[in-house]
Amino acid sequence: MEENRLVRETGMDRAFTWFNYLFIGLVTVSVLYPLIYVISASFSSPEALMSGKVWLLPVEFGLEGYKAVFRNSEVWIGFGNSLFYMAAGTAVNVVLTVAAAYPLSRKDLRGRGVVTLLFAFTMIFSGGMIPTYLLVRDLGLLDSRLAMIVPTAINVFNVFVAMAFFRQNIPDELLDSAKIDGSSNFRFLISIVLPNSSAVIAVVALFYAVDHWNSFFEALLYLSDENKYPLQIFLREILLMNNTDMMDMDLVAEQKRMYMSELLKYSLIITATLPLMILYPFIQRYFVKGVMIGSLKG
Partner 1 sequence: MKKMVYSCLALVLVMAISACNNSNNTASPSEPASSSPAAAAIASSGAPTTAVNEDGVTPAGTYPIVEEPLTLKVFSVKPDNVLDLNTNEFTQWYEEKTNIKVDWDLVPKTGSAERLQVTLAGGKFPDVFLTANLTMPQLVTYGSQGIFLPLNDLIDQYAPNVKKMMEQSPYIKDYMTAPDGNIYALPNFGETLHTSMPKKGWIYQPWLDELGLQMPTTTDEFYNVLKAFKAAHPDAAPYSGAAAANNEPESYIMQSFLFYDNSNYLYMDNGQLKFVTDSPNYQEGLRYLHKLAQEGLLQKEAFVQDRKALTALAENPGEPKVGAVASLFWGHFTVNDGDSGRYLAYQALPVLKGPDGKAYGNDRGFAPNQIGAFTITNMAKNPAAAMRWIDWFFDTDNMYTDGWSSFLGKEGVGWERAGAGEVGLDGQPAKYKVLQTFGVDQNHHWSQTAPTYQSDAFRRAQAAVTDDDQETRLYQVTKEKYVPYSAIEMKVPPVYMSADDLTKFGDIQHNIVELVKQFEVGFITGSLDLDKDWDKYLKQLGSAGLADYRVLMNKSLENRNKH
Partner 2 sequence: MMYRIALWNRTVSKEVSSNWQLYLLLVLPVAYILVFHYYPMYGLQIAFKKYNLVKGISGSPWLGFDHFERFFTAYDFSIVLKNTVQIGFYQLIAAFPAPIILALSLNYIRMRKIKKFVQMVTYAPYFISVVVIVGIIVQLLSPQGGIIHHFIKLFTGQSINMMAEPAYFKTVYVLSGIWQTVGWGSIIYIAALTAVDPSLHEAAVMDGASKLRRIRHIDIPGILPTTVILFILEIGKFMNVGFQKILLMQNSLNTRASEVIDTYVYKVGIISGLPDFSYATAIGLFKSVIGLILIFAANQIARKVNDTSLW
Which among 223, 237, 235 is positioned nearest to 275, based on CA atoms? Answer: 235
Q: Does 247 bind partner 1 (CB under 8 A)?
A: yes
Q: Applying CB under 8 A, which of residues 123, 153, 194, 251 lies at the interface with partner 1?
A: 251
CB of 253 to partner 1, least distance (A): 4
Measured from the CB atom, the residue of 49 and 175 that comes closer to partner 1 is 49
Least distance (Å) from partner 1 to the CB of residue 75?
A: 13
In the complex, least distance from residue 220 CB atom to partner 2, rounded to whole angstroms = 15
> Any alpha helices (H) in 106-216, and if so which ranges?
112-124, 129-138, 156-169, 172-180, 185-188, 194-196, 198-214
Q: How many CA atoms lie within 13 A of 205 on its CB side?
A: 19
Q: What is the largest CA-CA distance in the chain?
A: 82
CB closer to partner 1, 124 vs 247: 247
Calculate the alpha carbon distances from 205 to 23, 33, 109, 180, 201 in Å. 30, 28, 26, 33, 6
Q: Which of 8, 14, 67, 71 binds partner 1 (CB under 8 A)?
A: 71
User: Which one, 124 or 180, has the nearer CB to partner 2?
Assistant: 124
Partner in contact with 250, chosen from partner 2, partner 1, none, beta carbon below 5 to 8 Å by kind: partner 1
Question: 3-state DSSP call for residue 272?
Answer: helix
In the range 129-188, which residues lie near partner 2 by CB under 8 A? 130-132, 134-135, 150-151, 153-154, 156-157, 159-161, 163-165, 167-169, 184-186
Neighbours of 223 (CB within 10 A): 20
The binder of partner 1 chosen from 15, 63, 118, 220 (CB under 8 A): 220
- The verdict on 256 binding partner 2 (CB under 8 A) reads no
Residue span binding partner 2 (CB under 8 A) among the ranges 4-12, 66-74, 75-83, 245-253: 4-12
* 155 class by beta-carbon count within 10 Å (0-12 exposed, 13-18 middle, 19+ buried): middle
Instruction: Please tell me whether residue 100 binds partner 2 under the rule CB under 8 A.
Output: yes
Single residue of 91, 99, 241, 251 touching partner 2 by CB under 8 A? 99
- Interface map 186-215 toward partner 1 (x if CB under 8 A): ------------------------------
HSE of 174 in the Cβ direction (CA atoms, 13 Å)? 21
Half-sphere exposure of residue 53: CA atoms within 13 angstroms, side-chain side? 14
Site residues (CB under 8 A) for partner 1, limited to 125-164: 129-130, 133-134, 137
102 binds, among partner 2, partner 1, none (CB under 5 to 8 A by kind): partner 2
CB 94 within 8 A of CB 155: no
2 binds partner 2 (CB under 8 A): no
| Out of 59, 178, 192, 272, the residue judged to bind partner 2 by CB under 8 A | 272
SS3 letters across 35-56: HHHHHHHHCCCHHHHHCCCCCC
Contacts of 178 (CB under 8 A, 6+ apart): 187, 188, 192
Please give the C-alpha separations between residue 253 and each of 51, 65, 242, 273, in angstroms, as whole numbers.
18, 17, 10, 30
224 binds partner 1 (CB under 8 A): yes
Instruction: List residues binding partner 1 (CB under 8 A).
Output: 47, 49-53, 71, 129-130, 133-134, 137, 216-217, 220-221, 224, 229, 233, 236-237, 239-241, 244-257, 259, 262
